[in-house]
Amino acid sequence: MAVYTEIADEEVADFVAEYDIGRVIACKGIAEGIENTNYLLVAESGTYILTLYEKRVRAEDLPFFLGLMEHLAGRGIPCPTPVHGRDGRALRTVAGRSAAIVTFLTGMWPRRPTVAHCAALGEATAHMHLAGADFPMTRANDLSVVGWRPLFEASVRRPNAVAQELAAELDAELTVLEADWPTDLPAGVIHADLFPDNVFFEGERLSGIIDYYFACSDFLAYDLAVCLNAWCFERDGSFNITKARRMVNAYRSVRELAADELDLLPLLARGAAMRFLLTRLYDWLNTPKDALVTPKNPMEYVQKMRFHRGVRDIRGYGLG
């Protein structure tokens, strides 16, 4: 279970006493999630999520994450809203960790995303981008193109960790991405981690977007490229062109993509595949065997990277 920090019942009660949400009725660890410790917190006033921020989340980034969620929620985006204590603060400490309580969102994440799910996600992503346009804070994307080669080198320097043929392929791919990565596409606040387990649905209606702890300032179309990788490949590795077309066109129905955003979508998708390939590879090699979380297989993203490398233009995604 992905609960890195255990907290005693007395600690929870003392922590919650700083808020006007009533007495604690139940507090149970949530197994899903890999970055932080999450508890389902039931209080007299309702259900919440208590998050303890672990070492991989930098304390200086927390005001950005919490501020962004509050900003988006205030503009109608279905995302968790930080709960403020009686002193007005949303961020405090429990069990030696920075921690916050956020509102609970109903729904379930789709284990087998449908075309309708993909369309709803595309539309919601565009609304989120527009809603974040006037968010005053910024945060650099540490996992964009400048951060990929250090991850690659940290992995391949380990003896026999990566096959020579794969290492050579990744090195060549990085060289292309570093040379061709754009510098002037429309940018703003992006989620950067819009995987199915971060998006809730009630039936086919999108009911919530969670886990903003990779959110940053970057190209808006890059967020869409992450979604192409995370939502439009089937379990057998095949690319579902119908899902891609519906997702992108639903996005465009809310926020039209500029010509250069469309033209560069295959390159952005290659880059998004590289980002998750390398972070998975690093975790695969460095996560202890007795860790609470099982690292994800990076080879899934090798196949996705190769697919996007073969896409010459947006017709490969069903777009004209």
- Please provide the average confidence, as pLDDT, over all residues in the chain: 94
Q: What is the pLDDT of residue 288?
A: 66
| pLDDT reading at 35 higher than 80 | no
Residues 6+ apart with CB under 8 A from 180: 267
Q: Within a 13 Å sphere around the CA of 218, how many CA atoms are in the beta-carbon half?
A: 25
pLDDT number for residue 296? 85
| pLDDT per residue as tens digits for the range 271-293 | 999 999 999 999 898 876 655 66
Say what the pLDDT of residue 55 is: 76
Cα-Cα-Cα-Cα dihedral sign, residues 63, 64, 69, 75: positive
Asked whether 279 and 143 are in contact (CB, 8 A), the reply is yes
CB 230 within 8 A of CB 195: yes
Does the domain at residues 9-103 carry the CATH identifier 3.30.200.20?
A: yes
Domain extent listing, the chain: 9-103, 115-317
pLDDT at 1 over 50: no
- Interior/surface letters 98-116, b for 16+ CB within 10 angstroms, e for the rest: bbbbbbbbebebbeebebb
Q: Are 40 and 170 in contact (CB under 8 A)?
A: no
CATH 3.40.50.10330 given to domain 115-317:
no
Could you tell me if residue 168 is left (phi over 0), alpha (psi between -120 and 50 degrees) or otherwise beta? alpha
- A 10 A CB-CB count for 273 gives 26
What is the mean pLDDT of the segment spanning 37-49? Answer: 96
pLDDT in the model for residue 291: 55
Name the pLDDT band for 34 (thresholds 50, 70, 90): low
Contacts of 319 (CB under 8 A, 6+ apart): 244, 245, 248, 249, 262
Residue in 296, 239, 295, 305 with CA at minimum distance from that of residue 266:
305
Q: Which two tokens stand for residue 95?
A: 């069990």
Q: What is the DSSP string of 69-113?
A: HHHHHHTT-----BPP-TTS-S-EEETTEEEEEEE----B--SS-
> Residue 2: is its pLDDT beyond 60?
no
CA distance 167 to 156: 7
Residues in the chain: 320
Identify the pLDDT of residue 131. 98
Q: Are the beta carbons of 134 and 89 closer than 8 angstroms? A: no
- The percent of residues above 90 in pLDDT, for the chain, comes to 85
Same fold, 9-103 and 115-317: no
When pLDDT is averaged across residues 9-32 and rounded to a whole number, the result is 93
In one-letter notation, the amino acid at residue 212 is: Y
> For 50-106, what is each residue's pLDDT tens digit?
999 987 789 999 999 999 999 999 999 999 999 999 999 999 999 999 999 999 999
Summarize pLDDT for 230-276 with one digit per residue, the tens.
Answer: 999 999 999 999 999 999 999 999 999 999 999 999 999 999 999 99
Res. 159 pLDDT band, cuts 50 70 90? confident
Model confidence over 170-185: pLDDT tens digits?
Answer: 999 999 999 999 999 9
Evaluate if residue 113 carries a pLDDT over 70. Answer: yes
Copy the structure tokens of residue 257: 């993509």
